[in-house]
Amino acid sequence: MAKQERAVRTREALLRSAAEIFDTDGFVSASLSAICNRAGVSSGALHFHFASKGALADAIEQAAEQRLRLITGPDPGADERSEASPADVDPIQNLVDTSRRLFDQLNNDVVLRAGFTLGCEPSWQSRVDLHGQWRDWIESALRHASDLGALADGTKPEDVVTVVAASTVGFEALGRKDPAWLSQERLGQFWQFMLPRLVPPGTGPQKGT
Amino acid sequence: MAKQERAVRTREALLRSAAEIFDTDGFVSASLSAICNRAGVSSGALHFHFASKGALADAIEQAAEQRLRLITGPDPGADERSEASPADVDPIQNLVDTSRRLFDQLNNDVVLRAGFTLGCEPSWQSRVDLHGQWRDWIESALRHASDLGALADGTKPEDVVTVVAASTVGFEALGRKDPAWLSQERLGQFWQFMLPRLVPPGTGPQKGT
């Protein structure tokens, strides 16, 4: 293996191990030696990549920010469209699908999950705002839906943003101690209640599946 | 002041100081000497009342559990009714009013707030489950409303429980870093979206105020 490739793998192993330990023990309790042990890496190698525990947390949050951006895609109202979000996708279906991808990834990707957990830790000052990033994306999605006439009469995008952003953050917070809250079934219940009230009768997704 | 009264006041000062420090610094970072200093109490007095930092956290969570019970009152479907929840109160109005009282208290009562925060800390094993207690109360309130025919046709109590429980926990989690999420205005937006979809047209509270 080339030297550079080995360095990239070591860095990734350290990020993943740190995320696992932050996720279960919290930032303050996490010890650098436990992170090295789990990654199978010497403490010298850790300090080559990360100057401190704070530098590890920063790197996890930056990685989580990028991963969240991959999950959501660009702002739904933005001019430049990627292939992942073509103009002809129903905007509310896109919101439902994106929330489902986010929950899948929160279950499977410990770096993303640790990024969100770090954002709630009183003893850690985040430099990124994942909750804000998610909320802003939801707001763009709903304004875009409103512009396209895809919201039911009298439904105010700003009220729906509040409900969807608060609920999904609540699922994530509750899911930390009870994984059932991060299940697709629980999310399905949420959309089952929301959708018939969100879109005009007979249009858009009606079931959240 | 009688000796016993002084002991009660010292204990309360310690609980409040510990709650303030857990709330801002988290459980692991909180130091016993900072708690003593803030309470204006010697470390001997602290150890007379609480054997450890964990004992303080336990006592805060138990106090928060009692305060939450005072906010909600008894189970809305329970036979024994208190004066605080007479049988003729609209069950959905009762849910709205209770959520408003909870938000008021989360803003004003640091012991209640620290109880909820401790429940999310990865490094602390709670012996009480405030989120579960709140969720169970919401479930009772909605089943009671359903029994009384106060829910709109086709509205399933279990779906609404999921939305209301997840949202209010999300408000609380987001409010830790941005107090606007715990404002009555934000909660009003939530109920403004929910209520017209929750109760039959022309019945019950329609505005969440």
pLDDT on residue B122:
77
DSSP letter at B152 equals: P
pLDDT on residue A19:
97
Domain range enclosing A65:
60-198
C-alpha distance from B26 to closest chain A C-alpha (Å): 5
Q: What is the pLDDT of residues B108-120, one digit of tens each?
A: 999 999 999 898 8
**Residue A155 is assigned to a structural domain of this protein:** yes
**Residue A15 is assigned to a structural domain of this protein:** no
CA distances from A67 to A46, A57, A106 (A): 23, 15, 10
**Residue A22 is assigned to a structural domain of this protein:** no
Q: Could you write out the DSSP letters of every residue in B65-81?
A: HHHHHHHH-S-TT-SS-
* Chain B residues within 8 Å of chain A (Cβ atoms): 22-26, 28-29, 117, 119-123, 131, 154-156, 158-160, 162-163, 165-174, 176-177, 181, 186, 189-190, 192-194, 196-197
Cβ distance A189 to B159 less than 8 Å, yes or no, reads yes
- The H or E element containing residue A107 is helix A91-108
**Residue B101 is assigned to a structural domain of this protein:** yes
Place of tokens 């505005």: B207
Q: Tell me the backbone φ, ψ of residue A177, rounded to 5 degrees.
A: -105, -20
- The H or E element containing residue B169 is helix B157-175
End-to-end CA distance of chain A: 44
Task: Calculate the average pLDDT of chain B.
Answer: 89
Give B39-43's long-range contacts (Cβ < 8 A, gap of 24+): B39/B10, B39/B13, B39/B14, B40/B13, B41/B10, B41/B13, B41/B14, B41/B17
* Residues from chain A contacting residue B28 (CB–CB below 8 Å): 26, 28-29, 123
Of A133, A131, A118, the C-alpha closest to A55 is A118
Average pLDDT by consecutive 10-residue portion of chain A (209 residues)?
88 96 91 96 95 96 97 78 59 95 95 92 87 93 93 90 93 87 93 88 67
C-alpha distance from B82 to closest chain A C-alpha (Å): 30
Count CB-CB contacts under 10 A for residue B122. 24
Are A81 and A43 in contact, with CB atoms under 8 Å apart?
no
**Residue B164 is assigned to a structural domain of this protein:** yes
Q: What is the pLDDT of residues B40-97, one digit of tens each?
A: 999 999 999 999 999 999 999 999 999 999 999 988 877 545 444 555 688 999 999 9
- Structural tokens at position B159: 């779906």
SS3 B42: coil
Cβ distance B166 to A160 less than 8 Å, yes or no, reads no
Of B25, B148, B58, the C-alpha closest to B94 is B148
**Residue B188 is assigned to a structural domain of this protein:** yes
As a whole number, mean pLDDT of residues B4-15 equals 93
Query: Is pLDDT of B1 > 80?
Result: no
The identity of residue A22, as a single letter, is F
**Residue B10 is assigned to a structural domain of this protein:** no
pLDDT on residue A120:
81
- CA–CA gap between residue B201 and residue B175 (Å, rounded): 32
DSSP letter at B45 equals: H
Please tell me which residue of chain B has the smallest CA distance to A124: B25
Question: According to the 3-state scheme, what is the secondary structure of A35-100?
Answer: HHHHHCCCHHHHHHHCCCHHHHHHHHHHHHHHHHHHHHCCCCCCCCCCCCCCCCCCHHHHHHHHHH
SS3 A29: coil
pLDDT on residue B207:
60
Our measurement of the distance from residue A190's CA atom to the centroid of its chain's CA atoms, rounded to an integer in Å, reads 18
* Residues from chain B contacting residue A171 (CB–CB below 8 Å): 166, 170
Cβ distance B167 to A170 less than 8 Å, yes or no, reads yes
Of B131, B209, B38, B147, the C-alpha closest to A177 is B131
pLDDT on residue B50:
97
Are A208 and A92 in contact, with CB atoms under 8 Å apart?
no
Cβ distance B122 to A156 less than 8 Å, yes or no, reads no
- Structural tokens at position A20: 């696992």
Cβ distance B120 to A120 less than 8 Å, yes or no, reads yes
Cβ distance A181 to B189 less than 8 Å, yes or no, reads no
pLDDT on residue B206:
58
pLDDT level of residue B133 (50, 70, 90 thresholds): very high
Number of domains comprising chain A = 1
The identity of residue B177, as a single letter, is K
Please tell me which residue of chain B has the smallest CA distance to A188: B159
pLDDT on residue B69:
96
Domain CATH number, residue B114 = 1.10.357.10
* Residues from chain B contacting residue A123 (CB–CB below 8 Å): 25-26, 28-29
Tell me how long chain B is: 209
Q: Provide CB contacts within 8 A for B44, sequence distance 6+.
A: none
Structure-model confidence comparison of residues B109 and B122, the more confident one: B109
Q: What is the pLDDT of residues B146-180, one digit of tens each?
A: 999 999 988 889 999 999 999 999 999 888 888 89
Count CB-CB contacts under 10 A for residue A161. 20
Q: Choosing among B121, B161, B209, which should be mutated to test the A contact, i.e. which has the most A CBs within 10 A? A: B121
* Residues from chain B contacting residue A192 (CB–CB below 8 Å): 156, 159
Are A206 and A196 in contact, with CB atoms under 8 Å apart?
yes
* Chain A residues within 8 Å of chain B (Cβ atoms): 22-26, 28-29, 117, 119-123, 131, 154-156, 158-160, 162-163, 165-174, 176-177, 181, 186, 189-190, 192-194, 196-197
C-alpha distance from A165 to closest chain B C-alpha (Å): 8
Buried b (16+ CB within 10 A) or exposed e, B185-195: ebbbbbbbbbb
* Residues from chain B contacting residue A119 (CB–CB below 8 Å): 177
**Residue A106 is assigned to a structural domain of this protein:** yes
Of the candidates B28, B167, B189, the beta carbon closest to that of A167 is on: B167
Are A192 and B159 in contact, with CB atoms under 8 Å apart?
yes
